[in-house]
């Protein structure tokens, strides 16, 4: 496999979150590496968080394992058990089915970068702090009603 040149892979800060939940990730820039590299069994994303940005809303998946590797800068991992500072070389794993809502927050003055490994979830995802759930391929409220 040839070396991956990040500069040729499109970077996006789009999100499917409904308002007002999208604002938290407006400073998140993602490059989806797997499709460009021909990977199909799992996804890999190169993520840059600008100061003040979140990686996502705090969530957990019923059927998707997630794994992150910090590349540069500093972010705070927020999960049910508290807050942990993550720096270059630090890693974290989030096994599927564990109801431990998690996300990264960039509370520093500079960008941070990390790699996120997973796959598109087929089952539900739950959002710990807000009235949001991923179900049936759509974002819905906890009671199942649509946005």
Residue 37 domain boundaries: 12-140
Q: What is the pLDDT of residues 7-64, one digit of tens each?
A: 999 999 999 999 999 999 999 999 999 998 999 999 999 999 999 999 999 999 999 9
Q: How far apart are CA 8 and CA 25, in angstroms?
A: 23
The answer as to whether 120 is a domain residue is yes
Q: What is the mean pLDDT of residues 90-107?
A: 97
The answer as to whether 53 is a domain residue is yes
Q: What is the mean pLDDT of residues 65-72?
A: 98
Closest residue by Cα to residue 115 from 1, 17, 22, 4:
4
- Cβ neighbors of 40 (< 8 A, separation 6 or more) are 34
The answer as to whether 147 is a domain residue is no
Q: How far apart are CA 76 and CA 91, in angstroms?
A: 12
The answer as to whether 5 is a domain residue is no
Partners of 118 in the β-ladder: 43
The answer as to whether 7 is a domain residue is no
Instruction: Report the CATH number at residue 136.
Output: 2.60.120.10
Closest residue by Cα to residue 70 from 112, 11, 107, 24:
112
The answer as to whether 121 is a domain residue is yes
The answer as to whether 135 is a domain residue is yes
Chain-centroid distance of CA 138 in Å reads 17
Count how many domains the chain has: 1
Give the count of beta carbons closer than 10 Å to the beta carbon of residue 18: 14
The answer as to whether 40 is a domain residue is yes
Burial of 62 (0-12, 13-18, 19+ CB in 10 A): middle
End-to-end C-alpha distance for the chain, whole angstroms: 42
């Amino acid at each position: 496999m040839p070396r991956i040149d990040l500069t040729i892979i499109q970077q996006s800060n789009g999100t499917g979150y409904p308002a007002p939940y999208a604002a938290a990730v407006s400073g998140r820039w993602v490059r989806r590496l797997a499709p460009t590299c021909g990977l199909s069994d799992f996804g890999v994303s190169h993520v840059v968080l600008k100061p003040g940005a979140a990686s996502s809303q705090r969530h957990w998946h019923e059927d998707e394992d997630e794994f992150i590797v910090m590349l540069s800068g500093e972010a705070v991992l927020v999960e049910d058990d508290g807050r942990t500072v993550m720096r270059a070389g630090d890693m974290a794993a989030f096994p599927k089915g564990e109801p431990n809502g998690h996300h990264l927050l960039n509370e520093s003055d500079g960008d941070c970068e990390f790699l996120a490994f997973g796959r598109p979830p087929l089952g539900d995802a739950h959002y710990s702090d807000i009235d949001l759930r991923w179900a049936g391929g759509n974002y819905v409220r906890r009671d199942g009603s649509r946005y």
